[in-house]
């Protein structure tokens, strides 16, 4: 069947994937494979902007590959690779930086957030992060980019950069990408307040054991107004209920919706039920992950093969880019 176009997305190997990555992006990575030619990248160079101690970078890259394969990335059809294995991206990053006003980068909310998070490590790579991300996307001429809503400023930046490049060099070589979100735009962490992320340690890993998952779910913050077991709760503002709506059968969702409001069910009971349903949902993924984990050479082969296929596309784009820029 003819595909509708090309999809690209990237994920940082900062550790194992968590429910935020999964619900915000990875589920879409998997679904889009049916209709699009997909290219998915573990962005180790991007990880360097925040990770100073690189001792675990290789292991984390491997772990992320396991998570993606376990979630349902099909490496025969989809290209799955590691960013630094296709060095053309760094050349394109450099060329795109010439059409990027510095102020635009330092004004981005994502940059300001990083400055707050790591004031002692505001490195040049951090400023150029969205330029490298744009290079990722346009190197593979992606039409569609599945990401969580936190990446929206970067996709808008990429679109503007494509326009600036094509205008300055009077070309149509680069394609303006479209952002694609999942129904869950922003997954909250177990604190029920902030975006789920590893750096805030408010995350639940896909590959955690059922026991670890249950422990993490039991730590989830619920409706703060519900102090005593006998207080009625408000599921509409409770992150546990949000998760029930994603992972639990409709009968459990309906029951929680009614019983929480009249204190018929306590928060602990509600969370244990969620943990049970979440573990059930993740069971096949974890089994598949264990299978891949037992074959590290196969995973390496998949990533090497992915890089080879990615590089064919990348080299062709770079030939066109160099010609457009009139690099001798």
* Element holding 209 (H helix, E strand): none
d(CA 160, CA 284): 41
Contact 245, 253 (CB under 8 A): yes
67 sits near ligand TYM (criterion: CB under 6 A): no
Closest approach of ligand TYM to the CB of residue 92, in Å? 12
Among 7, 15, 16, 20, binds ligand TYM (CB under 6 A): 20
**Min CB(20)–ligand TYM separation in Å:** 3
**43 is a contact residue toward ligand TYM (CB under 6 A):** yes
Candidates 60, 151, 213, 277; binder of ligand TYM (CB under 6 A) is 151
Nearer to ligand TYM, 119 or 183 (CB): 183
Decide: is 145 part of the binding site for ligand TYM (CB under 6 A): yes
Min CB(38)–ligand TYM separation in Å? 12
Q: Note whether 61 binds ligand TYM by CB under 6 A.
A: no
From the CB of 145, what's the least distance to ligand TYM, in Å? 5
Which residues have a Cβ under 8 Å from the Cβ of 210 and sit 6 or more positions away?
275, 279
- CA angle 40/43/46 to nearest 5° reads 150
Binding track, positions 104-143, relative to ligand TYM; x by CB under 6 A: -----------------------------x--xx------
Query: Among 12, 16, 159, 271, which residue interacts with ligand TYM (rule: CB under 6 A)?
Result: 12
Please pick, from the candidates 37, 44, 67, 150, the single residue that binds ligand TYM as defined by CB under 6 A. 150
Q: Does 89 bind ligand TYM (CB under 6 A)?
A: no
The distance of Cα 301 from the centroid of its chain, to the nearest Å, equals 23
Please report whether residue 180 would count as binding ligand TYM according to CB under 6 A: no
Element (H, E) at 145: strand 144-146
Rg (CA), the chain: 21
Three-class secondary structure of residue 41 per DSSP: strand
Which residue, 23, 16, 15, 18, is CA-closest to 243?
Answer: 23
Q: What is the DSSP letter of 82?
A: E
Does residue 217 contact residue 247 with C-beta atoms inside 8 Å? no
Query: Per DSSP, what are the bridge partners of residue 38?
Result: 7
Residue 11 near ligand TYM by CB under 6 A: yes
Which residue, 249, 263, 148, 156, is CA-closest to 197? 148
Asked if 181 touches ligand TYM (CB under 6 A), the answer is no
Q: Does 214 bind ligand TYM (CB under 6 A)?
A: no
Q: What is the contact surface with ligand TYM in residues (CB under 6 A)?
A: 8-12, 20-21, 24-25, 43, 46, 133, 136-137, 145, 147-148, 150-151, 154, 186-187, 195-197
């Amino acid at each position: 069947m003819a595909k509708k176009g090309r999809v690209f997305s990237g994920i940082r190997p900062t550790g194992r994937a968590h429910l935020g990555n999964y619900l915000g992006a990875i589920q879409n990575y998997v679904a889009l494979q049916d209709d699009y030619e997909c290219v998915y990248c573990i962005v180790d160079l991007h990880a360097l902007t925040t990770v100073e101690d690189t001792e675990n970078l290789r292991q984390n890259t491997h772990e992320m590959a396991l998570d993606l394969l376990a979630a349902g990335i099909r490496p025969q059809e989809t290209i799955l690779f590691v960013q630094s294995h296709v060095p053309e991206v760094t050349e394109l990053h450099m060329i795109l930086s010439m059409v990027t006003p510095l102020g635009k980068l330092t004004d981005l909310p994502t940059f300001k957030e990083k400055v707050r998070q790591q004031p002692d490590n505001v490195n040049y790579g951090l400023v150029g992060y969205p330029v490298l991300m744009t290079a990722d996307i346009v190197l593979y001429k992606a039409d569609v980019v599945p990401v969580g809503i936190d990446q929206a400023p970067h996709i808008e930046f990429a679109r503007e950069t494509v326009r600036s490049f094509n205008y300055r060099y009077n070309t149509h070589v680069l394609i303006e990408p479209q952002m694609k979100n999942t129904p869950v735009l922003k997954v909250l962490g177990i604190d029920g307040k902030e975006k789920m992320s590893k750096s805030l340690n408010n995350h639940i890993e896909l590959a955690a054991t059922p026991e670890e998952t249950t422990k993490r779910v039991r730590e989830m913050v619920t409706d703060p107004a519900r102090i005593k077991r006998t207080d009625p709760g408000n599921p509409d503002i409770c992150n546990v209920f949000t998760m029930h709506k994603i992972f639990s059968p409709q009968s459990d969702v309906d029951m929680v919706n009614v019983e929480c409001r009249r204190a018929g069910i306590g928060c602990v009971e509600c969370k244990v039920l969620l943990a049970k349903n979440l573990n059930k949902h993740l069971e096949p993924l974890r089994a598949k992950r264990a299978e891949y984990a037992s074959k590290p050479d196969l995973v390496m082969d998949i990533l090497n093969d992915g890089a080879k296929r990615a590089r064919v596309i990348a080299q062709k784009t770079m030939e066109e880019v160099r010609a457009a820029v009139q690099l001798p």
